[in-house]
Structure 1
Amino acid sequence: MGHPPGLAEPPPMLSIAADIQPITGQLKAQAQLPLQQPVKIKAGIFVYDFGEINQVLQNYQLNTIIWLSWQDSRLAFTPDSADKSEKFIPLASIWSPDVEVVNSANLELPSDGDVTVEPDGTVTYIRRLNLKLSSELNLVRFRFDQQQLKLILESGNYTSNQVVFTVSPRPSQWRKEVFISEWNLEKITQDVVTTQLVPEADEESQARFAIHIQRRSGFYLWRAFLPLILIVIVAWLSLWVPLLNVPTGPFPLSIGALLTAITFNFSISSSLPRVSYLTFFDAFFLICCISIFLTLVVNVYLTKRQQEVQMETKTIRRLGRRLIPTSFLVSLAIIILVFLI
């Protein structure tokens, strides 16, 4: 298994029974907190792969290595030789911070297996996990958006006075072959905060990792935005159809365009996020429907007035040809300024 780029060579996966050297006599005392408090926990992640990013349910799947490091002076030892600078100890036999992944249904990190202990008492914990994590997405710029996928670590049994996370100098990284369908992976950032789970409770320390991703919008430009624009243009063309009678006049084009747009929206609704606020795509779809509807209103009015005032009908029709496309373009420019700039 490779190790995260930019990190010091990590210890091997802790499973070689022949290297395990138990420390006798003092292990029974390790269930208590180390003497130096608060215990500072360094944490990092190394992303191996992504599963599905579900924007409807706002969760995602992550295959990652989580590593933790803390110091316990009670485990310090003098190396036997230059070749034995580390020891492998069962995690269950020493004190550990009981870290859990907050946004993964309270998943506690595995406590089986071994950890590496260095001569100064520094303990290194490394585990590879497949996680399903919830992460709230900001979809206001939907189809042209950037997101931060969260992974939050917390010590479930200790307050911030006993255990505190610190920002690790080792940057969290990802495997270069990592591929996310529809997204570009930008960077991974880490932050440390203290929070209260309930009012008046003791504060707890959290390590929060944010995986920054940016959506590749080309697919949606060709499969969503362009077809809707063509449907709107078809509705506009009804303003150039001769006003003869309803069956052969402008109505089939404008009504058909409106029904097609609504049907198109229903066909892609399963892939759209269920959020209460207006996204850029929602606003774009609305102005398309409004433009088609205004075209239909103009055609209804002109058909009614055709035999009454022929000249007035031609004037209104010419105005409709200019004003409706212009109002659509102005509305599109406004929502681009509001949502994307």
Structure 2
Amino acid sequence: MRVFISQFKLAQLFIFVGILLLVFVFPTQAQREGQVEVLNGHIELGEIMHYNVPDLKAGDILYVYMTNASGNLDPTLLLSTSDTDTEELRAELKNDLEALITDGVPPTEALISVIGDAFLAASDNNGQGSDASFEFVVPADGDYLLLALGTLVNETSGGYQLIVSVNEPAILDGIWLPTGAEIAFLDEEASGIATAVQQLTSDIGENRTQRSSVLNPIAAGDTLYFYVGSATPDFVPQLTLKDYSGRTIQESNPFASGQSTTLQYTPLDDSENMQLIVTGLDGTKGEFRLLAGLNEPAVLTGEALPQGRAIVQGPTEVLINTRLEQITGVDQKAENYGGAYLIEMRWNDPSQAFNPDDCQCTFKTFIGSGLAQLLNDDSFRWPNFTIFNQQSNRWIQNQGMVVESNGDMLYFERFTTTLQAPDFNFRAFPFDTQQFYLRVDALFPDNFFVFNGPLEASQIGDQLGEEEWRLIEYSTEVSTVENVVVNPSSRFSFGFQANRHLNFYIMRIFVPTILIILVSYFTFFLQDYSKRIDVTSGNLLVFVAFNFTISDNLPRLGYLTFLDAMLAGVFVITALVIAFNVFLRRLELKGKKELAQRIDSYTLWLYPIAYLIGGIILYIYFILPSYWDSILQTLNLG
């Protein structure tokens, strides 16, 4: 009996110890063992990733940590109930945030105030650097909605890593090891990434045979849908899909002859750099509308509405401008000029965006070997260019590249070179107005980069170092030109007009020539024809010597200029004056002095009329055409 009682007390002791263990070692039965899940994703501008977190139990503690994985994404985390209308709520948040900032509240404080009042839990910068994190004690059993997005203060995008845990606080200290648990589930449809439709319009013009576009990366199992419809009656479109190597993957019906065609393709593996090519059947050309869809079969009908992410990569717009720093020389005979230029290019490359926390900076600068390494990187695509009218080496004095955290790029280069100027026309010399150009051609075709160069972005320096020429105006133009590749490329043209300072020509050429003309004219007031012959002969010799003296200052061209014709005309008239005086002298010697005087009386007004008529002819033949050519070139360039 005593043994039985002892055994009963021992059993009671074990039960009591077990209860103590349940109470103190495992505090609450509702709290689950620690679970950790690691998720990865990418957020474009304006996107919100919706994660459903189901079956949370009262007393559980939800820990969430979000960090930047690529780009300049500044993470933000929001937790709400599962029935929240995120689109309407986002609009309200932005309006409230803008109102607070307008009232003078600092952006960070305004953001904390706005999101703190609207959500169960919220975080913008509670982690390391710009990382977001929070912990939330679940008040009641149920499903919850976790929102991952970029900060509402700035426009940021990029890749992210999302760590979600239940009852595992170590993740807030940057320590996590996935346990294999599934805690949060991405709702692709609510996030707007399950499907996408993109609409583009373009054309196949006279200078091209196709339109080629690169596609954004496509995941295995996703289905691509394409529809192209003609906007020109005679254009019969065709579609071809190629892989990164140019191998044809799929084509639309090559025997179709209608005004539209479709194509559908589902890759078995993740695919990048696929190309979609639009051509015209039998070389037909015209305008078209392209619909590209991801997991959206309605695209094949041509009626789907644009929504979601971009499928086709459009060309990157490059803002290009130039500054003429100096004119180093003008070779009129060779039709070229030397110049020192500064070129700047600005564009956005999301792949180069970075997290400011990584370098504690908002921009990176590349010069020297660092720039060379960046430009030689095969994975880095930038708007490389060539100078179309370059005739000698391009000597680069300095160059560099600045990359901002959001992917904005700035490339600058200062160089000197000799540039061809085939538009030189010296017929009106020295009253000529010449056109000078710098033509920058993109090496990549225009489905990758397109130049845009507004006039106000380009400039001309204040001290060009060229004393002979005076710049009167400049202009810019962006065009599309034929290239060695299938697709044409973009061209930026910077042109300026210049005419000559005339002081030199007036003092060294026109004034002496006018004096020679006047000396010949004054001889007509002499009645002694012998003296006339002596004076005009000497005048002719002076003119010949003068012509040799100024010959080095005249351009040696294969055609006559205004100044050439003028000097030749003066030479001819001066020679005719000598011949005329000899003729009058012979009449006098033959006893026909009255006839000679009667003829001579007409020369006082015939001589200036001859020069007047000659000047009008020179103006019509040399000056006027050059003037109209200059006007037309200005209109074409502007």
Q: One fold, TM greater than 0.5?
A: yes
Cα contact 1:75–1:117 (8 A) shared by 2: yes
Q: Residue 325 of structure 1: CA displacement?
A: 2.1
Do the aligned partners of 1:152 and 1:207 also contact (CA within 8 Å) in 2?
yes
Q: Residue 180 of structure 1 corresponds to which residue in structure 2?
A: 466
The equivalences for 1:57-72 within 5 A come to: 57-72=334-349
Q: Give the SS at the match of 1:273.
A: coil
Tell me which residue corresponds to 1:273: 555
What pairs up with 1:229-248 in 2 under 5 angstroms? Answer: 229-243=514-528, 245=530
Letter in 2 for 1:296: I
Please name the residue that 1:163 is paired with.
449
1:109-160 Cα offsets, whole Å, 9 max, x none, are 86996411123322211111122222232223212232222111112x4333
- The answer as to 2:480 corresponding to 1:194 is yes
- Contact preservation (8 Å) 2:365, 2:400: yes
Quick check: 231-240 or 79-88, which moved more?
Answer: 79-88
**How far apart are residue 96 of structure 1 and its match?**
2.5
Indicate yes or no: 2:612 matched with 1:329: yes
In structure 2, C-alpha distance between the alignment counterparts of 1:272 and 1:201, rounded to whole Å = 46
Cα pair 2:429 2:561 within 8 Å, conserved:
yes
- DSSP 3-state at the match of 1:42: strand
Match of 2:596 in 1: 313
1:195-214 alignment, distance < 5 Å: 195-196=481-482, 203-214=488-499
Post-superposition offset of 1:340: 4.1
Amino acid at match of 1:36: Q
Asked whether the 8 Å contact 1:183–1:214 carries over to 2, the reply is yes
Q: Give the partner amino acid of 2:573.
A: S
1:54 aligns with 2:331: yes
Q: Pick the aligned partner of 1:284 from 544, 562, 566.
A: 566
Structure 2 unmatched runs, 5+: 1-70, 72-271, 274-311, 625-638
Residues 237-261 of structure 1: CA deviation (Å, up to 9, x unaligned): 333334464xxx3223222323332
Letter matched to residue 540 of structure 2: L
CA distance in 1, matches of 2:421, 2:564: 22
Partners of 2:463 and 2:542 in 1: CA distance: 41
Residue deviations 1:137-190, cap 9 Å, x none? Answer: 2223212232222111112x4333443322246521133344420222333311
2:428 equivalent to 1:141? yes
More strand by percentage: 2
Report SS of the residue matched to 1:158. strand
Q: What residue is the counterpart of 1:27 in the other structure? A: none
TM-score, normalised relative to structure 2? 0.43
Alignment correspondent of 2:388: 102
2 CA distance for matches of 1:189 and 1:244? 60
- Superposed CA RMSD in Å reads 3.2
TM-aligned CA distance change 1:274 to 1:206, over 3 Å: farther
Given the superposition, is the C-alpha separation of residues 161 and 132 from structure 1 closer, same or farther in structure 2, using an over 3 Å criterion?
Answer: same
Q: Which one has a bigger Cα radius of gyration? A: 2
In 1, Cα distance between the equivalents of 2:475 and 2:347? 20
Q: CA deviation at 1:202?
A: 5.1
Determine the structure 2 residue equivalent to 1:73.
350
Per the alignment, in what secondary structure is the counterpart of residue 313 of structure 2? Answer: coil
**Amino acid of the residue matched to residue 175 of structure 1?**
G
Structure-2 change in CA distance of 1:239 and 1:114 (3 Å): closer
Counterpart amino acid of 2:428?
Answer: R
Contact residue 98 and residue 108 of structure 1 kept, 8 A: no
Amino acid at match of 1:232: I
- The answer on whether the counterparts of 1:59 and 1:134 sit within 8 Å (CA) in structure 2 is yes
- Conserved 8 A contact 1:294-1:324: no
The question of whether the paired residues in 2 share the 8 Å contact of 1:101 and 1:107 is answered with no
When the two structures are superposed, what TM-score results if normalisation uses the length of structure 1? 0.77
SS in 1 for 2:493: strand
Aligned to 2:406: 120
Q: Unmatched 5+ residue regions in structure 1? A: 1-22, 24-31
Structure 1 Cα separation of the partners of residues 569 and 525 of structure 2 = 21
CA distance in 1, matches of 2:393, 2:476: 20
Match of 2:583 among 301, 305, 308: 301
Q: Which amino acid aligns with 1:129?
A: F
Q: Which structure is higher in RCO with an 8 Å CA cutoff and minimum separation 6?
A: 1
Cross-structure match for 2:508: 223
| Structure 1 contact 73–121 (Cα < 8 Å) conserved | yes
Partners of 2:340 and 2:395 lie apart in 1 by 14
Structure 1 CA distance for aligned equivalents of residues 397 and 445 of structure 2: 20
What CA distance in whole angstroms lies between the structure 2 residues aligned with 1:201 and 1:272?
46
CA distance, structure 2, for counterparts of residue 312 and residue 340 of structure 1: 41
Cα distance in 2 between the residues matched to 1:131 and 1:305: 66
Which secondary structure state, in structure 2, belongs to the residue aligned with residue 45 of structure 1?
strand
Q: Which residue of 2 aligns with 1:16?
A: none
Check if 1:85 corresponds to 2:362: yes
Secondary structure of 1:44 counterpart? strand
Q: Is the CA contact 1:63–1:130 (under 8 Å) kept in the aligned structure 2? A: yes
**Which residue type is aligned with residue 301 of structure 1?**
F
Match of 1:151 among 434, 438, 457: 438
Instruction: Give the share of equivalent positions with the same residue, in percent.
Output: 26
* Alpha carbons 2:341, 2:414 under 8 Å: kept: yes
Cα distance in structure 2, aligned partners of 1:272 and 1:203: 41
Show CA shifts across 1:214-242 (max 9, x none).
Answer: 32112211111111111122223333334
The amino acid that maps onto 1:295 is V
Decide whether the 8 Å contact of 2:391 with 2:417 is kept in 1. Answer: no
* Displacement of 1:211: 2.5
- SS of 2:418 mapped into structure 1: strand
Instruction: Give 2:169's aligned residue.
Output: none
- What one-letter code is carried by the residue in structure 2 that aligns with 1:320? T
The Cα of 1:298 is off from its aligned counterpart by 0.9
